[in-house]
Structure 1
Amino acid sequence: MTNDFAQITLDLSSEWTAFQRPGAPALYPEPLREEIDEVAGKVFTDVNNGVYQCGFASTQKAYEEAYDKLFARLDWLSERLTDQRYLVGDTITEADVRLFTTLARFDAVYHGHFKCNRQKLAEMPVLWAYARDLFQTPGFGDTIDFEQIKQHYYEVHLTINPTGIVPVGPDVSTWATPHHRERLCGRPFGDGTPPRPPPEPERVG
């Protein structure tokens, strides 16, 4: 076992299966691991980390390079997801989980706070539909607290936001609108089953 954040979830999926609940979906299936690693690696370098490279850039050149890399990768992801529901195979995998974490924060934080403002997620049709599809899937949206997300970024990063003012928007009700991604088929949990709702004290929204 490791304390490396990028490895922890892989270990939980591959080394700790004896402790998983019955019906837990396979997020890191052996036959797809090479492709999952490749896609997740690109997502981490250019998207997960890319938004931070934009937000904390200390020179115009560094910011613009990170900005270009971020949106080039988002365009690549949009193209990849045009005709397939999930990033790798026909089920949700580790690659989707890693991308979702950044997409969920994109309009609420990264678009304005980190200057990732070519487009909002809501203005990128494929990625917006894909993100809403995941958000409406058990285990995703029911774990997202948009107010806490905004409070953390806008109140903690005082070098970027010295006033500590937290924006009111965006309207998060749009995450519940129809996405129509089910037309691409796919089996969200594969041969597994959805997780139960979070315990009452942990519920958000």
Structure 2
Amino acid sequence: MTAQRISDPGSAVLYEERSPVDELVDAAPARLDEAPPEPLAGLRPGEVIVGECVDAQHPTLIGRILVRWATPRGPQERWLPSLHGLAVRAHDRVLVTQPSNWPEPLVTGVVDGFVLRPEAPRAEAARLVLHSDEALRVTTAEGEPLVDVFASETGPVIRLLSEEVDLELKGALRVSARSIDLVARQGEVRLNAADDVVVQGENIHLN
């Protein structure tokens, strides 16, 4: 539908009959390539400053943190949006950027932190639910079993089903856990290295 000009027989005034589409167009927000609104006080378009995170948990909104920074007019304190997946905690120093076409500053990075950074949450791509008597099995194209994944009373278990297994990497292999047990049910344990073998611990027991 388009707007039509209609004349009132009893009046010389012309008026337009507006369609719902016309109302939506008028109510649409300004495009990003149009002139942006005035930025917050103390920040110019394109400016990057360092602020302090006062509170990393907004009471209702996800992805907004309370940031304080100094300006010629005095300290400013605002709830600002942060980049997706950015881990910010209270008392962290953060980079605050004022885009030239956006009405408020954005938190774009963490300068430093006093605690270990938590791992950014990952989107779940797929899920397979296993009952206590079920396992996920990986086989070859010929049906030869390779790996079983299942749950036990102590936690998840990954069981390699081949008689011999080679674990090969081009780079470094790091294994990290609260404690590590290496058990050879039959046979010996060998350590071979092309360079020094370094063993560090509070106490080293050899028998």
TM-score when normalising by structure 2? 0.22
Q: Where is the helix percentage greater, Structure 1 or Structure 2?
A: 1
TM-score when normalising by structure 1? 0.22
Q: Which has the higher contact order (CA 8 A, sep 6+)?
A: 1
